[in-house]
Structure 1
Amino acid sequence: MTTGFQTTAHFQDADGFYEQLLDAHLGLTREQSELLNARLILTLANQIGDAQVLTQCLALARDLPGELLGDLADEPPPPAR
């Protein structure tokens, strides 16, 4: 694993960020919300920058147990492009 890879909670204010994330989606259509998520992911990935860390993050997110994903665990994965 790449040095510095966080696998435990590392938020300064997790609840505050979650509220900001929810607020950012208020009033958006599903398509607009998905675009916001994509932009946020790319912005955060740019901040991380390390390709190995990003690969590990993708693998971790994909393999998270269902109870950590909440309602998303019941949805089928999106079709491959």
Structure 2
Amino acid sequence: MALITTPNIARPDEFFAALTDLHRELTPAQSEAVNAKLILLLANHIGDNAVLAEAMSIAAEVRDER
């Protein structure tokens, strides 16, 4: 399985709204905990270490953007 990096969410605006709503009344600590739990749930769903490593590598590029 390869990491899909092109748009692949059926209704991205609805997803973004739901994600924003999820965090709406959370404290920063609660928001971080929700994000961590969401990441672990999605990583478990993907289940492929190579795909997860590729995703982490791409996400780590944010360090270079500063």
Q: Which 5+ residue runs of structure 1 have no aligned equivalent?
A: 67-72, 74-81
- What is the TM-score when the length of structure 2 is the normalising length? 0.87
Structure of higher RCO (CA pairs closer than 8 Å, 6+ residues apart): 2
Q: 1:48 aligns with which of 30, 46, 49?
A: 46
Structure 2 distance, partners of 1:5, 1:27, is 32
- What is the TM-score when the length of structure 1 is the normalising length? 0.72
Number of equivalent positions: 65
Q: Which has the higher helix share?
A: 2
After TM superposition, which residue ranges in structure 1, 4 or more long, deviate above 3 angstroms? none
Over the matched positions of the two proteins, sequence identity in percent amounts to 40
Structure 2 distance, partners of 1:32, 1:7, is 28
